Amino acid sequence: MTNSMLRPGWFIEYNPKEQKIFDIIHKTIEQTFIQYGYQHIHTPAVEKIDTLSKWWDEVSKQIFGLYGLAQWSEDTKDYALHFDLTVPFARYTIDRQNDLAFPFKRYQVQPVWRGERSQKWRYKEFRQADIDVIWKSEDDKGYNEVYDADCIVTLAKTLRKCLDNIGCEDKQIVVRYNNKSFLQAICDRLQIKNITALFALLDKYYKLPKDVFDTKLAELLTNEQLSAFVKIREIEENVSDFPEWEIYMMSFIQNIKTHLPSLQWIEIVYDPAIVRGLDYYTGTVFETFIDDKKNIGSVCSWWSYANLTEFMDTKQSFSWVGGSIWLSRLMSVLLEEYNITESYEPNEKHYLILNEEISITQAQELAVTLHEKWAIVEIYPIADKIEKQFKYAEKKWVTHAIQFFDGNPRYKKLWWDREDLSI
């Protein structure tokens, strides 16, 4: 993605090759979500400001309002662009609960907007691909490990397929997890008072230099608290020091692994620095990294909530688990870290019939025949130098050129294999 003085800053726009990769990933996400039983919904780009502002205090700093539209309408002051897909889904569930079969499994792939200070890989407009399972809280007190496992498998499998479908089979996926209830219990036992500040600092663990993090952590904790707290990083070796672990995590992980059909293609690692800084996450949280590039940030996150919809309607109590593939960030990582447009080889055939005046009628007849077979095919628009037509094909990721010799079409496979192929 190149910068432009004409394009609005921090709004994503791809060139055609980049868009092609984005579309492959988008299609893969939708197909896999559907395969795992998630139903597609689409909500408006806007929600009522009152609804958005009830969600979380920090939201007031991020709301992307609609003030000053050219066609001014009095009610525009009541609306804002949604900053995530969670609030719209909560509102959708309350509005349409009589139409839904619970537990309701939904997916959405839509843009969201945030009026926050932009920085690398954080944009004012970006795409999210969300899945969630939602159910009435009284059904099982807001927790169900089957739903947890379902979301983890679906997201991990989807991310794996996305990478495989664009030629990144060698990239490994690492899921790092934690549980906020477990951390809360440890903080209570150690009598840590400023838990909010501690969680906020943990959330920046991979973004801060180690010495800076250690200094800030020491400012929040006493020596005794610090000594006990750092042991959590090696929880499996020190599990006897933390009986809370068995309560909040051991049974959870065991249940998750029971429901996971296979762990061969996914690595799951405990990490106390994974807290997902938002305070409405109440249970287990996950962050997923490609090749464990924690400094870049996760490309897929997962979370659980208890009684989340109460912020919108105290009489309505729904809980859910879900997660999101940060589609725009995933694209940024692929483009900037792996230069994917240089390594990607199209896996679908795209034919270009070279335009030579002597064979234009035959070219048109062949195009019709190929279109009837649902092939991607086009005729170069004018009779031009063959070299120029090949350059056009290269820029468009055309895989096969077709040229007529003595009235018969010959296929030339481009780029990685230039041998002539007869029909």
How do the domains of the chain map onto residue ranges? 16-342, 348-422
At a CB cut-off of 8 Å and minimum separation 6, what does 403 contact? Answer: 353, 354, 356, 386, 409, 410, 412
pLDDT in tens, 19-62: 999 999 999 999 999 999 999 999 999 998 888 877 666 666 77
103: cis peptide before it, omega within 30°? yes
Output phi, psi for 270, to 5 deg.
-75, 135
| CATH architecture, domain defined by 16-342 | 2-Layer Sandwich (3.30)
pLDDT in tens, 349-388: 899 999 887 778 888 999 999 999 888 999 999 989 988 9
Looking at residues 325-332, what average pLDDT do you find?
Answer: 94
Of the pLDDT bands very low, low, confident and very high (cuts 50, 70, 90), residue 304 is confident
**Residues 153, 173: Cα–Cα separation, whole Å:** 12
pLDDT of residue 24: 96
The CATH code of domain 348-422 reads: 3.40.50.800
Provide the whole-model pTM.
Answer: 0.86
pLDDT in tens, 386-417: 889 999 998 898 989 998 887 788 777 764 34
pLDDT in tens, 87-108: 899 899 999 999 999 999 999 9
At a CB cut-off of 8 Å and minimum separation 6, what does 123 contact? Answer: 10, 11, 12, 114, 328
